[in-house]
């Protein structure tokens, strides 16, 4: 998960008119007006470089969906709010079973709050609400999740009493961030990064020793590592985290600083 900034994004042409028409139909007909959030899908996809807001994967076999961070079933007042829309893949947005593990996960209609917190009844009360699920559009939230080199998503905090630890654990389950296919995709990326770091280190030494041809191979390896960190690349946040484990190597530190 990485921060997705919607502050500078505008709803598409016709959005306000579609919202007004849907609201005139009444709250009981919210489900009949999916065209409202569907209008926003291109803008949301652009904001995340065509990647799911939650898992950072691109949809190769479907168009994805527009998720309501605050579910429209519990927050009717937020059903047509652009700032409540998130572009999500099927596995993160819907309850699905992982055929390899049998685990059932996916956000669905759940939206737990911390104990003692009252559910917001309008936009003015949002700041008083304390959601459990992490929000990729809240700049402070994505950092609560960390990753291991084997591909698993884990809480960054190890303190049991830390609310962000619970938020991370619940969000990893809710968004299906450890689905076996996703975990395997991350593991493969980790291996590729390790190989490229080793290759870059090897040929940098040869270049320093006077092998001019080694410079080209070193540069290509550094290029490939930098490409893994670009916002339009799948799993770029995970890639950055794995690359940080090699930051004791000066050239890796330079990559992280200039990517």
Summarised one tens digit per residue, pLDDT across range 116-158 is: 999 999 999 999 999 999 999 999 999 999 999 999 999 999 9
What distance in Å separates the CA atoms of residue 63 and residue 114, rounded to the nearest whole number? 33
> Would you state the structure tokens that stand for residue 147, as one six-digit string?
């990753």
What distance in Å separates the CA atoms of residue 118 and residue 18, rounded to the nearest whole number? 30
Long-range Cβ contacts of 97-103 (<8 Å, 24+ apart):
98/176, 98/179, 98/180, 98/181, 100/180, 100/181, 101/180, 103/179
pLDDT band at 64 (very low <50, low <70, confident <90, very high): confident
pLDDT reported for residue 105: 64
Give helix 236-244 / helix 180-208 axis angle, nearest 10°: 50
Are 225 and 191 a contacting pair, CB within 8 Å?
A: no
Of the candidates 158, 182, 157, which has an alpha carbon nearest to the alpha carbon of residue 103?
Answer: 182
Report the helix count and the strand count for the chain, using DSSP H and E. 9, 6
pTM across the whole model: 0.91
Collapse the DSSP code of 77 into the 3-class scheme (helix H, G, I; strand E, B; otherwise coil) and give the result.
helix
Are 146 and 154 a contacting pair, CB within 8 Å?
A: yes
User: For the ranges 98-102, 183-187, 215-219, 253-257, which has the lowest average pLDDT?
Assistant: 98-102
């Amino acid at each position: 998960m990485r921060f997705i900034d919607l502050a500078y994004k505008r709803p598409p042409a016709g959005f306000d008119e579609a919202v007004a028409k849907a609201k005139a139909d009444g709250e009981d007909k919210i489900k009949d007006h999916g065209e409202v959030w569907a209008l926003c899908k291109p803008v949301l996809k652009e904001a995340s470089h065509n990647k799911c807001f939650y898992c950072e994967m691109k949809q190769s076999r479907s168009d994805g969906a527009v998720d309501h961070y605050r579910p429209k079933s519990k927050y009717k007042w937020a059903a047509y709010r652009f700032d409540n829309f998130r572009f999500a893949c099927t596995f993160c947005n819907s309850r699905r079973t992982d055929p390899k593990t049998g685990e059932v996960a996916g956000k669905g209609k759940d939206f737990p709050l911390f104990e003692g917190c009252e559910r917001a009844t309008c936009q003015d009360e949002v700041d008083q609400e304390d959601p459990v699920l992490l929000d990729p559009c809240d700049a402070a939230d994505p950092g609560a999740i960390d990753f291991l080199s084997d591909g698993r998503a884990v809480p960054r905090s190890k303190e049991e009493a830390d609310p962000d630890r619970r938020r991370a654990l619940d969000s990893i389950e809710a968004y299906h961030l450890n689905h076996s296919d996703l975990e395997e995709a991350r593991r493969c990326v980790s291996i590729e990064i390790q190989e490229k770091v080793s290759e870059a280190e090897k040929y940098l030494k040869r270049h320093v020793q006077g092998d001019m041809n080694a410079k080209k191979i070193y540069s290509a390896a550094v290029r490939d590592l930098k490409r893994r960190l670009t916002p339009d690349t799948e799993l770029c946040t995970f890639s950055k985290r794995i690359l940080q484990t090699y930051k004791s190597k000066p050239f890796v530190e330079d990559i992280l600083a200039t990517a």
